[in-house]
Amino acid sequence: MITSNKSSPSGKAASPQHPHSQVRQRILSAATCLIVERGATGATVYTIARDAQVSNATVYKLWPNRSALLADALVARFPVPEPRTGTGGNDPVAELSTTTHNLINALGSDLGRRYPEIRAAVYGAELHDQLDKALFTPWLNRITDICREGVAIGVFRGAMADSIAGVHVAAAALAAANIPLTERTTSQVATTFVDLIINGVLRKD
Question: What Rg value do the Cα atoms of the chain yield, rounded?
Answer: 19
Q: Quick one: pLDDT at residue 125? A: 86
Q: Which CATH class is domain 83-202?
A: mainly alpha
20-33: per-residue pLDDT in tens?
Answer: 789 999 999 999 99
3-state class of 63 per DSSP? coil
Domain with CATH 1.10.357.10 in the chain: 2-76
SS3 label, residue 53: coil
The predicted pLDDT at position 100 comes to 79
Q: What is the pLDDT of residue 2?
A: 29
pLDDT single digits (tens) 114-169 = 988 898 898 888 888 888 889 888 888 888 888 888 878 877 766 655 556 666 66
State the Cα–Cα distance between residues 24 and 17, nearest whole angstrom.
12
Report the alpha-carbon distance of residue 27 to residue 49 in Å, rounded.
7
Name the nearest CA neighbour of 32 among 23, 42, 22: 42
Contacts of 108 (CB under 8 A, 6+ apart): 176, 177, 181, 186
Q: Please report, for residues 57, 67, 128, 201, the alpha-carbon distance to residue 64 in angstroms, rounded to integers and kept in the order given.
A: 11, 8, 15, 43
Q: Which fold has domain 2-76?
A: Tetracycline Repressor; domain 2 (1.10.357)
Give the pLDDT confidence score for residue 59 in this predicted structure. Answer: 96
> Position 67: which residue type?
S
